[in-house]
Amino acid sequence: MKSFEEAKARLESAGQSHVLRFWSELSAEQRVTFLEELSQLDPEELSRHCRTAVEAASLQSSDGERLDAHMEPVPPEFIGSVRKSDQQTLKEWEDEGFLQIAQSKVAVLLLAGGQGTRLGVPYPKGMYNVGLPSGKTLYQIQAERIRKVQELSSVKYDSQCTVPWYIMTSEFTLEPTEKFFKENNYFGLEPSDVVMFEQRMIPAVGFDSKIMLEKKNKLALAPDGNGGLYRALVDNKILEDMERRGVQFIHVYCVDNILVKMADPVFIGFCVKNGADCGAKVVEKAYPAEPVGVVCRVDGVYQVVEYSELKPELAEQRHPGGELVYSAGNICNHFFTRDFLSNVAHTFEGKLKQHVAIKKVPFVDEEGNLVKPTKPNGIKMEKFVFDVFQFSKKFVAFEVVREDEFSPLKNADGAPVDTPTTVRRSLSAQHYRWAVQAGAHFLDADGNPITTKHRTAQDMVPPALCEISPLVSYFGEGLDMLKQKNLKSPFFLNEKNVMSLVEHS
């Protein structure tokens, strides 16, 4: 945008000229940055956004339409399952997945636009150190899993391959994430194979339909939700990059799951063999009122119904065998074909549902004072990545074991669930199981055998603190060197000390 006059005319046409009321107080530099920000706004889109936000907020405050009468669970024939499938079938899926990876047809895409606010840190969640013996952050663990799955695929099919890592950031997380990766030499990955891009930011709207100011020269903006992915793929030419690399299948996930299997060959293989264009990993809900969305069908269309939209009596329904009818808990872990993503991004993105979040939004009042509200005062609109299931021609769900694949980091320690402590325990418990299955024995500090029978519930403290580097084992394989070994807790197996264990076998 070239001038103040142009900015003013565009804002007036959208009914939002109030954001320029402090223009006379701004320095030349502040004016330049503000005009740059305002240039991103399309007047027609802005007007529609403000109107939609207020309408959606008022609808949310009423009871809204219940989905109960229109809901049904995902039919069994559209669900794959790790627990319920035989070893031969699982191996066929895994082999297919490894084959696609070996041909460099698979990419992973990380949704990392959110800040670590609930976690209580001022930096992106992926940079968080959860307190493992290695001191590794979520980003490092995920990078090393990519390196390992590349290695396993290359060895299995005698073919060098690459799994590109696309990382969707936001205005808040792009710069610190780029800096963190550079400082850590991309954790051993090729820098050209780590592609960071930014999702759009959209203005917060007051209950009076007016967009809000965070500073005199800055709008109060928020990321447009993880469903902002589809617009960002086009804005940043990511789909073209995928096509250039020959990527056909994309594994999309959220940054906070410490147990995420990057480019999971079993999941990829299951989806490919079933001809799916869209797939969702699910876990069995732990209890009826667990606050996770449910993957189901509504009027014959696949979608995620949020737990808050589900009446208790429906959430508690069970099959004759005792299993919950609506048990497919959504964990934001998805498979898409590139063609499907392209179709959504170019054809259906405008039809995605807008979700309302009523928030406490710090703002500058009419006198120019910064106000930190004590009660919700603003509306943030966001789209969700899973709202595209309805556009799929062949949707599948894939049930995985929670203790193996899902432990999200959302809250600071002190909260009952999803904290640094609970995710650290989840990873340690998983690695303890791997070591025991490989034939290892654990000893306590006094050298006595640890005989506590370990349960697999996520909230259990594992009998021993155990960490196995992803560079040694992707998912419990290749641990023969631990057979009949006595291991002292805490035990950390990395690519350096693995050689000494092999030599002493």
DSSP for 204-271, please give it.
-EETTS-B-EEETTEE-EEE--GGGHHHHHHHTTHHHHHHHHT--EEEEEETTBTT--TT-HHHHHHH
Per-residue pLDDT tens for 122-142? Answer: 999 999 999 999 999 999 999
Same domain, 27 and 117: no
Same domain, 220 and 84: yes
**Confidence (pLDDT) at 505:** 52
Residue 281: inside a domain: yes
**Confidence (pLDDT) at 139:** 98
Same domain, 35 and 77: no
Residue 334: inside a domain: yes
Same domain, 73 and 52: no
- pLDDT of 501 strictly over 80: no
Assigned token pair, 135: 């001191």
Same domain, 79 and 55: no
Residue 419: inside a domain: no
Residue 324: inside a domain: yes
Say how far apart CA 256 and CA 407 lie, in whole Å. Answer: 8
Q: How many CA atoms lie within 13 A of 378 on its CB side?
A: 25
As a whole number of angstroms, the longest Cα–Cα distance in the chain is 79
Say how far apart CA 402 and CA 408 lie, in whole Å. Answer: 11
Per-residue pLDDT tens for 192-248? Answer: 999 999 999 899 999 999 999 999 999 999 888 899 999 999 999 999 999 999 999
User: pLDDT band at residue 399, thresholds of 50, 70 and 90?
Assistant: very high
Say which CATH number the domain at 269 has.
3.90.550.10
- 149: DSSP letter: H
Residue 10: inside a domain: yes
Say which CATH number the domain at 437 has.
2.10.10.100
Per-residue pLDDT tens for 343-387? Answer: 999 999 988 888 888 889 999 999 999 999 999 999 988 899 999
How much is the pTM? 0.92
Same domain, 53 and 73: no
Cα first-last separation, the chain: 69
Residues 6+ apart with CB under 8 A from 91: none
User: pLDDT band at residue 456, thresholds of 50, 70 and 90?
Assistant: very low
Same domain, 108 and 237: yes
Per-residue pLDDT tens for 260-270? Answer: 999 999 999 99
- pLDDT of 60 strictly over 80: no
Same domain, 73 and 54: no
Same domain, 138 and 23: no
User: pLDDT band at residue 63, thresholds of 50, 70 and 90?
Assistant: very low
Question: Average of pLDDT values for 145-164?
Answer: 97
Residue 417: inside a domain: no
Say how far apart CA 214 and CA 221 lie, in whole Å. Answer: 8
Same domain, 96 and 37: no
Residue 386: inside a domain: yes
- pLDDT of 457 strictly over 50: no
Residue 425: inside a domain: no
Same domain, 15 and 117: no
Number of domains in the chain: 3
**Confidence (pLDDT) at 114:** 78
Per-residue pLDDT tens for 430-454? Answer: 999 999 999 999 998 888 888 765 4
**Confidence (pLDDT) at 215:** 94
Same domain, 385 and 449: no
User: pLDDT band at residue 12, thresholds of 50, 70 and 90?
Assistant: very high
Domain encompassing residue 469:
430-503
